[in-house]
Structure formats: C-alpha cells, structure tokens
Amino acid sequence: MKQLTHYLVGGAVRDALLGLPVHEKDWVVVGHTAEEMLTLGFTPVGKDFPVFLHPKTKDEYALARTERKAGHGYHGFEIHAHPSVSLEEDLLRRDLTINAMARTPGGALVDPYGGLEDLKARILRHVSPAFAEDPLRVLRVARFAARFHWLGFRVAPETVALMRSLSTATELLSIAPERLWQETQKALTEPDPQVYFQVLEDCGALRILFPELAALRGVPQPKLYHPEIDTLEHQYLALKIAAQLNADTPTRFAVLVHDLGKGLTPESAWPQHINHEIKGLPLIKQLGKRLRVPRQYLELGLTMSQWHTHVHRALELRPNTIHKLFKGTDALRRPERFEQLLVACTADARGRTGYEERPYPQADYLRLALAAAQNIDIPALRERFEGPELGAAIGQARIHKLKEFKQAWPDKLP
C-alpha cells in the first residue's frame, strides 16, 4: 500500500498562524480512493462527502474534492472526489483565503490564494467565485467576523459585494433551519456576537433571515434614556455588553430578542414604545419556530421580553409587584434562570451609549430580594393551612419578607 499523501488544512492552519489554540485538525488526502482509505482502517462518516475518521486520532480526513453547483441554494451540489483532484483545486473551492491554506507533513505552508497575506492584513476575503456555490457561507463569513473582530479582521469589500448578490430569499431560505440556527448559535458564543448581525445587515441578509431584527433599524427611542436612539443600534450595543459580561448563549439570545416589540410601534407613537414587552412575544415565537430555536433559549427570550422593564424599575416596585415578578418569571422555582434574566437586563441597561460602565444596582437588589422571599418557614405554614389557603399564606409570608427587605435597603448592598 502506498503511503498516504495528506495535508493539514482549514481552521488548524489558520489558528496556529494567528497564535490561537487549535481545537481540531482536519486533513485533506490527495491521490487516494475511498477503497484505499477503508483498507487503511479509516471509518467513513457522513453520506454526502468522502470524509473518514483516522483509526487512532479520530481526526477527519477528507478526499480532495471539487464541488459544482447543480441547482439553487444549499442543496444543489455535485461532489467530485477523485484521486486526480489536486490540493490546489481542493483549496480553491473553500470559503475564505485564510481558511484555504495547507501544511505539508514536513510543515511547509501551501498557500496558493494569498491566505497568509490576508491573515496579516486582517482581511476576510473569498477565495474564488466558487464561494457563491454555498449560501451558508454568507453566515460563516459573518460568524468569522464576529470571532476575529477583536483581532481587527474586516470583510473585504468585494466579498461583501458577493455576499450581497447571494442575499436573495431563494438562496438564503434554501439553507436548512437547523444549519441557520447552528451558525447563529455559534455566532452568539463569539467574543463580538453583534458583529455577526452587523455583517448580515451590511450585505442585506438580515432582512431576509431576521426580518424581526431588521425592522428595528430606524426605529427611534427616547434620547434621554437611549442616547444611541436607533433601536437596532441599541440591540448591537447590548449584545456586545452581554459578551463582555461573559453571559451564556441563551442569555445572549434573550438580549437579542428582548426589544423586538419596538418594531411594531406605529410611527405616530414614536419614540415611546408602550407595551413593547408583550407585543414582542409573538415575534419571538415566530423567529424561534422558523429557526427551530431550542426551548431553553426561547423561554428565556420570552421571559426577558415580558419582564425586563419590571427588572429595570426594581428599586421603585412595591413588594407586591416584586412578588408578581418572581411568580411571573418562575424565579422561586428556577433561580438559575432568574439569574440569566438579571444578566440580560444588566446588558440591556448598559447597552446604551454612555451607560456602558454604569452600575446596575437593580440586579443585586433583586438577588437579595429573592433570597429574602425564599427565607420563609414553609413547614410551619403547612401545619396551619392546606390547599389554596396554603398557597395564599405562602404568598403573604413572602410579601411580608419583601416589605422588611425593602425597608432595610440599602444596608443590604453587598
């Protein structure tokens, strides 16, 4: 059996050159057939592409291939994997120049499309017109922009232009909802998730993929509370702060959708947005259904939309209303989700021009208020009441604790 001719490719080559940790290694195999791979003990994976797992390392080894588009959208591919396909041909069909470099087993860089130069210049540039064969790449570029923004990366103008030409409903809506969510969910985990949505907006993809968000562009908010005025700008700022706060991904999603209701305000009512908290709920459900957003994300998004104004007004709320907030958000049974809500609200409050560093005492206030409301003697109440009366007595006991707590504030600040 001849020796396997293989090259390290993709993210591993890119990340090493950026000085970043390499998480997984992908390899391209040149000059071999699938049968030879099986004889060498590799396990085939996936039904669409000729990809194999190494028997020991479990790294992915793909046969060099070219792809040709045979139809519209994401599904219309013809894969051509053959021992005659060269490394350069395989790299040519890849998305970005910084992703289209390879290393020989001896460690030499193979870089036929200027990847290293673009990496040094911090440019995300498509390799060739073959980019257009896969509309998912519009989202991938936006995601890489979100990931590498802190390093100074920008999308090349000619790539933005190509992404714009791909940003039609026919192309983008052909992407399976699961893939759309997968890219979006990954983008939300990146250090600058707001850049994902900004890049999608710049190339015209946002209005097709996230019309509920795109509708916020140009919608004004009161200047006194929102110096940035524009509601979509506020969304981006809040998302940026959520990432800086190291918020988990569902919390970032909740920040993303919490003001969708403002897109429904009639122009005559601008810049006020009465009841946007409730008006946004059907929009969040609609977006969630379209993208198959997991329940955990969706529930937090809905809770955030409905209750964020209450949280912001926490210090003025009467004990009864705080209790209502705890019941409405299920805070007493699900304190970990309430904590996510508080982080999302902190990001919302700071996601305003000039407010980025402001303290947000509401969060600690409600953390301590929740602890106070939990601190009641339920077994003692059980001895005296049962059924609906027990429920009412527990509620009263909690409200009493909240009254005491409110009177003692601000001595309780940690």
Binding site for ligand CTP (CB under 6 A): 10-11, 26, 94-95, 99-100, 134, 136-137, 140
Is there a contact between 209 and 180 (Cβ–Cβ < 8 Å)? yes
User: Min. distance of Cβ 396 from ligand CTP in angstroms?
Assistant: 53
User: Judged by CB, which is closer to ligand CTP: 101, or 343?
Assistant: 101
User: Judged by CB, which is closer to ligand CTP: 18, or 376?
Assistant: 18
User: Phi and psi (nearest 5°) for 20?
Assistant: -100, 155
User: Judged by CB, which is closer to ligand CTP: 203, or 257?
Assistant: 203
37, 38, 189, 228, 291 from 52: Cα distances, Å: 8, 8, 28, 51, 30
User: Judged by CB, which is closer to ligand CTP: 22, or 161?
Assistant: 22
User: Min. distance of Cβ 272 from ligand CTP in angstroms?
Assistant: 42
Identify the bridge partners of residue 68 per DSSP, sorted by sequence position. Answer: 78
Angle at 246 between CA 98 and CA 216, to 5 degrees: 80
User: Judged by CB, which is closer to ligand CTP: 155, or 314?
Assistant: 155
User: Min. distance of Cβ 21 from ligand CTP in angstroms?
Assistant: 10
- Give the pair of three-digit tokens for residue 386: 């049962």
Bridge-based pairing of strands 154-155 and 123-124 is: parallel
User: Judged by CB, which is closer to ligand CTP: 133, or 277?
Assistant: 133
Rounded Cα gap, residues 12 and 8, in angstroms:
7
User: Min. distance of Cβ 32 from ligand CTP in angstroms?
Assistant: 19
User: Min. distance of Cβ 96 from ligand CTP in angstroms?
Assistant: 7
User: Min. distance of Cβ 95 from ligand CTP in angstroms?
Assistant: 4
Bridge-based pairing of strands 43-45 and 60-63 is: unpaired
User: Judged by CB, which is closer to ligand CTP: 190, or 233?
Assistant: 190
User: Judged by CB, which is closer to ligand CTP: 46, or 227?
Assistant: 46
Alpha-carbon 348 to chain mean position: 16
User: Min. distance of Cβ 23 from ligand CTP in angstroms?
Assistant: 6
Rounded Cα gap, residues 71 and 76, in angstroms:
4
62, 145, 242, 325 from 364: Cα distances, Å: 52, 34, 17, 15
Rounded Cα gap, residues 291 and 178, in angstroms:
7
User: Min. distance of Cβ 252 from ligand CTP in angstroms?
Assistant: 18
User: Judged by CB, which is closer to ligand CTP: 60, or 259?
Assistant: 60
User: Min. distance of Cβ 243 from ligand CTP in angstroms?
Assistant: 17
Omega cis (within 30) before 359: no
**Which residue, 87, 85, 26, is CA-closest to 61?**
26
- Give the pair of three-digit tokens for residue 212: 């509920």
HEC sequence for 60-114: EEEECEEEEECCCCCCCEEEEECCCCCHHHHHHCCCEHHHCCEECCCCCEECCCC
Residue nearest to ligand CTP (CB): 11
